[in-house]
Amino acid sequence: MLSRSYSDEHEAEEGMLGGEVDRDKVHQMAVDTYERGLEMYRSIEYKEYDVADATDIPEGERKLMRIGGRSIGVFYHNGKWYAVRNYCLHRSGPVATGSLEGDVLTCPWHGYQYDVKTGEFLLDPAVKLETYTVEVREGKVHVKLPTVVMDSDLAEAGAE
């Protein structure tokens, strides 16, 4: 098994957990990470989504939902609202479905732990889950997600 991980074979190994890997998605994640590291993305606006009635998520609970193509967990915790992307940084596990003890959200797959308020990974606060602004107005829970474009798209828009 270890020797396979160093080969150039592109076949999925039998018995792998989670089935086959979507190579296009993995490639896009690598490109996105590289481009963000070079600060090639610029956030130009936030889109707000009305996701639930405030009464739908009682104190100490969460609601999982798909917003803007992302799986997100919205938490009502200690009288405040938080939203994190449901995507563990370790192995892409469904982190928002994990246990919440105090402020610590634990991924159910491998036990990676994050601060639900900030998204910070407890072993390295420089590493964070994506978090989103949550506001409650007139009894409705609203989540704001960034809309991002590439620098090249901004340049083309300015040239028109």
DSSP for 114-150 reads: EETTT-EETTEEEEE--EEEEEEETTEEEEEEEEEEE
User: What percentage of the chain carries pLDDT values higher than 70?
Assistant: 74
Say if 22 falls within a structural domain: no
In this structure, is residue 26 part of a structural domain?
Answer: no
Domain that holds residue 111: 43-150
Domain contains 120 = yes
Confirm whether 4 is domain-assigned.
no
This prediction's pTM: 0.66
Tally of structural domains, the chain? 1
Residue 158 is predicted with a pLDDT of 54
In a domain, 158, yes or no: no
Quick one: average pLDDT of 132-157?
78
Q: CATH number, domain at 66?
A: 2.102.10.10
Task: State the pLDDT at residue 68.
Answer: 80
In this model, does residue 159 exceed pLDDT 70? no
